[in-house]
Amino acid sequence: MAKKSTTSKLLKQGKKMAKKNPKGFLVVIIVLIVLAAIAAAGFLAFRNARPNVSFTLIGPKETSIALNSTYKERGTKAMYNGKDVTERVVTTYYLGDAKVNAITTEEEATFTVKYKLDFQKYSGELERKVKVTALEAIDINFLELGNKYTGDSTFIKAGSTDILIDAGSRQSSASTIASFVDTYCEDGILEYVIATHAHQDHIEGFTSTNTNPGIFDRYKIDTLIDFALSNNEGKALHTKYCEKRDAKVASGDIAHHYTAADCIAGTNGAKKTYEIAAGITMEILDQKFYREKSSDENDYSVCAMFTQGDNHYLFTGDLEEKGEASLVELNNLPQVELFKGGHHGSYTANTDTLLNVIKPKTVCICCCAGSDEYTKNPDNMFPAQLAVNRIGKWTDKVYVTTVATDDEKGYKSMNGNIKFRCDDGINYVVTGSNNSTILKDTEWFKNNRTWPSN
């Protein structure tokens, strides 16, 4: 026969006690309830007394800055029971074991940044390594294209490396692009060229006419990276682009040709990440429409991230909503100092899905603002009101190349050619060849758009 459980025994004894002395039993029950309440209150007080601390680094655990520059502290984020206590973090800098006042040097070296938080009952430490190197400067130039049509062409000078992303908006734009590139590129060689997708406003300037050589005929190219898929195969422009590209590959004028899919897979000699200058990399970002068909040509866009020290600069071509969602899903995207506004500032791009991750500090948009080239709906003309609403949650440092006019010419410079320059991987300046006025302060914006109230 099994032994009775302890609980059964206690219940039996309790019943006997209740029969013999009902009042005494009630007192015992009350005392037990009070003791349980005191214990519960003590547990809650103990739990609430424990600090709820989140103490994390802002930015990577290792970063680089240029020689002869001073490290700009990006520090930590310290939260205590929902309150920001970051100002209580003590930051110190060390070169070896020696404590220094700041990180700046004329020689290459690695410093240690130590962060310490002593607050209430919490004490913690974090570290970051900062490498001082011969980090080179970068100039990113968003170009006007010599006509009233919206299109893309961005020229980047990273150290001595010349990079061109796209050559829109029309074939005639090739001469406009070349006149700018030639002020930087002295040897006639573009080390890297990216053709994001097979739309006229991005690739027609690569091709030639009898009177106006295109980019492929004007420069030798070391590495060309272009779209892996297209819905435009067999159409005139796609055929013309591919025939010219393939002829240049065969002649050796284009030394290496890869698709974005090659770069992600590491096939045919391609790489995902290229070191383009000292301390500067170009990474081809993954997104599913390198491998999957889309009904929207824009979603085939090649996407790239340039990283200089601790700064990040993002290019997404004309990627649309589904493409941006895939980009976020397949990459660990950082916050960016520069975002080239998606699809010329369209409402179909620049989604919260992407912007809430990259939190851009500066946005440059290549378009002819207010042009009815693609829509008669004023709110949806580039840059669209909905795109402004979303971007405006993160920054008002928005710049636009060109604006439409009602005269015969049909356009004029807004900011003009926009130059984003960073010498040290930290501090940067943005200037326009026409002016450096941010979008919301322009007359066109005041007459056609509203800034979000958030």
| pLDDT score recorded for residue 294 | 98
75 pLDDT above the threshold of 90:
no
Please tell me the distance from the alpha carbon of residue 270 to that of residue 274, in angstroms, as a whole number. Answer: 9
Residue 347 pLDDT greater than 50, yes or no:
yes
Phi/psi for 435 (5° steps) reads -165, 175
Whole-number Cα distances in Å, 68 to 94, 96, 110, 118, 382:
17, 19, 14, 33, 41
Map out the domains of the chain as residue ranges: 53-133, 138-448
Question: Are the C-beta atoms of 398 and 415 separated by less than 8 Å?
Answer: no
What pLDDT was estimated at residue 352? 98
Cα–Cα distance for residue pair 410/201, rounded to 1 Å: 17
The pLDDT tens digits for 379-400 are 999 999 999 999 999 999 999 9
Inter-residue contact 370 to 404 (CB < 8 Å): yes
pLDDT tier at 43 (50, 70, 90 boundaries)?
Answer: low
Q: What is the CATH number of domain 138-448?
A: 3.60.15.10
Lowest mean pLDDT among 4-18, 89-103, 262-276, 316-330: 4-18
The percentage of residues in the chain with a pLDDT greater than 70, rounded to a whole number, is: 91
Domains 53-133 and 138-448 equal at CATH topology level: no
pLDDT tens for residues 387-433? 999 999 999 999 999 999 999 999 999 999 999 999 988 889 999 99
Which pLDDT band, with edges at 50, 70 and 90, does 25 fall under?
Answer: low
Provide the pLDDT for residue 309: 87
- pLDDT higher than threshold 70 for residue 208: yes
pTM of the model: 0.83
- Average pLDDT of span 331-346: 97
| pLDDT, position 15 | 60
Q: Tell me which CATH homologous superfamily contains domain 53-133.
A: Immunoglobulins (2.60.40.10)
